[in-house]
Amino acid sequence: MKVLVADDDLGSRLVAKAAVEQSGHECIVAADGDAAWQLYKQHQPNAVVTDLMMPGLDGLSLCRAIRAEERDTYTYLVLVTSQDSRDDVLAGMDAGADDYVTKPLDPFTLHTRLLVALRVTSLHADLARYRLALTKQARTDPLTQLYNRLRLAEDLEGLHSRSERYEWDYSVAMCDVDNFKSFNDIYGHQAGDAALRTVAEALSRQVRQRDGVYRFGGEEFLLVLPNQSWTAARIVVERARAAVESLGIPHSGNSSGVLTISAGISAYVAEHRVGSERLLNEADAALYEAKAAGRNRAELSEAVRHIALGR
């Protein structure tokens, strides 16, 4: 465990440092509150042992600053005071301290506080990992391991806001596996699930790291392409379409004899600054046009086609 000791009294600092290190922990020391705050931000210690009264930030202010800074971590705060009064203890707890000790500092007493600190911070670290795992799970499609619609809503809102602010382009492409119902009827749902996983992997390989691939629902996937106009998006989508076809997954219900996808593309560009929900609807409509035109192809949305034709 990493422990920060903050005290303007040299003797108290030395006693605290020796007690921390004898307890088997790493110790960082600061001679005033301002230095302690900088060291906290630099090292992110697991525990802080701080004097109540010291130059710069006092112990109460340091506790408040640390609690305001914390996000997914938890720092155990021990307040050290020579004024053993109920008011000081209550003020410290109100400022965010977890415990307190009085001067002159007793190494054994500090050792026991650090045992508690280790247990508490370990528990908080475990909880943070669990929260992170649950957050990821809630935003990941369990079958394909792609992001799901919840993550899409979050990502697309952020992308659209940035693009609107800085006048950046971006494109979206709605992709759908052709004749997937008949694929499931012919080969079974287990084969259908395996095919969706394979298609998801193929799509992911065709985009940049900054791009997004989402399972939109059923056999539908959505590509979100930041900083790409419709011309660049069409190249990416055509590459993705060809990659899926080249997998050669047998599909006797398709005219090509293999599994394929169709796609519809829309774009947020200078001539077409519309909302993200409208872009999704336009891409979906273009997808249906691709289906009607024979499948295994990509179509631009009507609005983007007008831009392409200079209308």
> For residues 49 and 4, is the Cβ–Cβ distance under 8 A?
yes
Distance CA 102, CA 5 (A): 14
- Residues of the chain within CATH 3.30.70.270 domain(s) are 149-308
Distance CA 222, CA 143 (A): 15
Distance CA 110, CA 214 (A): 51
Mean per-residue pLDDT, 92-108: 90
Active site residues: 219
Distance CA 98, CA 78 (A): 6
| C-alpha dist (Å) from residue 92 to 42, 96, 119, 295 | 24, 7, 21, 69
pLDDT, residue 224, reads 98
**Measured distance between the N- and C-terminal CA atoms of the chain, rounded to whole angstroms:** 66
| 3: CB partners within 8 A, 6+ apart | 20, 25, 26, 27, 28, 45, 46, 47, 48, 49, 114, 117
Distance CA 226, CA 222 (A): 13
- Residues of the chain within CATH 3.40.50.2300 domain(s) are 2-138
Question: Could you give the residue ranges of the DSSP H alpha helices within 176-269?
Answer: 180-187, 189-205, 230-246
Mean per-residue pLDDT, 15-40: 94
> For residues 159 and 216, is the Cβ–Cβ distance under 8 A?
no
Q: Strands across the sheet with 298-300, in order? A: 212-217, 220-226, 170-177, 261-268, 298-300
Q: Tens of pLDDT along 203-258?
A: 999 999 999 999 999 999 999 999 999 999 999 999 999 999 999 999 999 989 99
DSSP letter at 105? P
Distance CA 179, CA 219 (A): 10
Q: Tens of pLDDT along 251-309?
A: 999 989 999 999 999 999 999 999 999 999 999 999 999 999 999 999 999 999 988 77
- CATH number corresponding to 2-138: 3.40.50.2300
Mean per-residue pLDDT, 18-31: 94
More confident residue, 154 or 102: 154
pLDDT, residue 84, reads 62
Tell me whether residue 80 is exposed, middle or buried, using C-beta atoms within 10 angstroms of its C-beta: 0 to 12, 13 to 18, 19 or more. buried
More confident residue, 26 or 83: 26
Mean per-residue pLDDT, 178-197: 96
Residue 311 above 60 pLDDT?
Answer: no
Distance CA 47, CA 37 (A): 13
> For residues 292 and 299, is the Cβ–Cβ distance under 8 A?
no
Residue 78 above 90 pLDDT?
Answer: yes
Distance CA 211, CA 201 (A): 14
Mean per-residue pLDDT, 88-117: 89
Q: Is 228 left (phi over 0), alpha (psi -120 to 50) or beta?
A: beta
Q: Is 28 left (phi over 0), alpha (psi -120 to 50) or beta?
A: beta
- Residue tagged 């500092």 (tokens): 105
User: Is the Cα torsion angle 95, 97, 99, 105 positive or negative in sign?
Assistant: negative
pTM of the model: 0.69
Mean per-residue pLDDT, 154-181: 96
- Kindly report whether the peptide bond that precedes residue 55 is cis, defined as omega within 30 degrees of 0: no
Residue 85 above 80 pLDDT?
Answer: no
Q: Tens of pLDDT along 105-158?
A: 889 999 999 999 999 999 988 888 888 888 788 899 999 999 999 999 999 999
pLDDT, residue 73, reads 84
Distance CA 44, CA 160 (A): 34
Q: In the CATH hierarchy, which fold is given to the domain comprising 149-308? A: Alpha-Beta Plaits (3.30.70)
**The two three-digit tokens of residue 161, written as one number:** 């806001």
